[in-house]
Amino acid sequence: MSEKPKRERVLVVDDDPDIAEVLSRALADPEREVALATSGAAARDRLAWENFNLVITDVRMPGEMDGVDLFRWIKENRPKTDVVLISGSPDLESALESFRYGAWDYFVKPLDLLQLRQSIRRCFARRRAVVDAENPEQLRDALSLLAREINVLGSVRSTLGRYVSKDVADAVLGSSKSAAQTGERRRISVLFADIRNFTDYAESRQPEEVFAALNTLFELWVATVEKDGGIVDKFTGDGLMAVFNAPRKLRDHERCAVHCALEMEREAHAWEGPFEAGIGVNTGEAIVGNVGSSTRSGFTVIGSAVNLAARLEKRAKAGQVLLGSETAEAVRGDIETGLVSLMMIKGYSEAIPVFEALSLSRDTGAR
């Protein structure tokens, strides 16, 4: 193994290159070198032959190695490298398991840039104190710093409580056997939203301004989702996924989801960016509940209905809300819609009808 690097070396890992780039600029420092990797496998390959003091990785990434797999590989193969995990889908079990396994810190999106910087400063201060602890006074300082970090475990629940829907928390942590705990098939509506012009916005502004704008818009979006009876399942870089009719049952969930999408689009356009969002909404049967192992699991929804909602979002233009046929049929008479076209969508052997939500015909708030 090569000699320990003198400069602080940080590796940022995120499959969203825009978020990774903004994050790297936010962490820039004359005494620090920041490198990027866009997948867990790419990060592993770099770590196999390069020394990094700290790795900051997104938890959910596509491909052969996600953030958790990368974290475990680092702990086994680069035990002196600290790891910060960033999750778009918070749950208490994953956070506690990460700390037990040796994570330096665990953050939940939307990301608080100030808290992340403070955590990184503490990390490198602790590393320097341990390296330089040649006398009792320095060793006491190092141990004191480590003791303060142990208190993080006691505050994980309250920290995650800022982001986890009360419905999810009640369902997962409650004593009764809910759908969230046991899993069940349920007809739901799923919404995916993504900011379309985020790259141009991010490149022309300071990282602090970018994250502040993102977090402010996410606050508006989360409030809108909850007002219409849904829950935010996860944040996806510069977007989010929301679920309606799980874990809490919701009458007219199709209307609530489309109403929410139109409001989110309006909020994005009105925000100071101004941002434009592409949104996809679809309705269908899915499996809802806790998914994972006995040591690591989280509430989620799985099924083709979810996949189609995600693909509709990818096909939506800036300022457009695309709907699957079941959703469009359910909101007919309440929300003005129009057929966009027959589209070839991955996972379907034939072109399927895709609709667009145009405007509200009457109030369709949460039921």
Name the pTM for this structure.
Answer: 0.68
Report how far residue 293's alpha carbon sits from residue 296's, in angstroms, rounded to the nearest whole number: 5
> 179 or 298, which is more confident?
298
Note the Cα 242 to chain centre separation in Å.
11
pLDDT in tens, 76-116: 999 999 999 998 876 666 777 788 888 999 998 888 888 88
Q: How much is the pLDDT for 208? A: 83
Rounded distance between C-alpha atoms, residue 113 and residue 19, angstroms: 12
Minimum mean pLDDT among 18-32, 69-83, 96-110, 293-307: which range? 293-307
How much is the pLDDT for 365? 45
Taking the C-alpha atoms of residue 61 and residue 71, their distance in angstroms, rounded to an integer, is 12
pLDDT of residue 238: 86
Query: Region 338-345: what's the mean pLDDT?
Result: 93
Domains of the chain: 8-160 (3.40.50.2300), 166-360 (3.30.70.1230)
Least confident segment among 15-24, 224-233, 348-357: 15-24
Pairing of strands 54-58, 8-13: parallel
Beta strands in the chain (DSSP E): 8-13, 32-37, 54-58, 82-87, 105-108, 184-195, 231-235, 239-244, 277-292, 297-302, 320-323, 335-343, 352-360
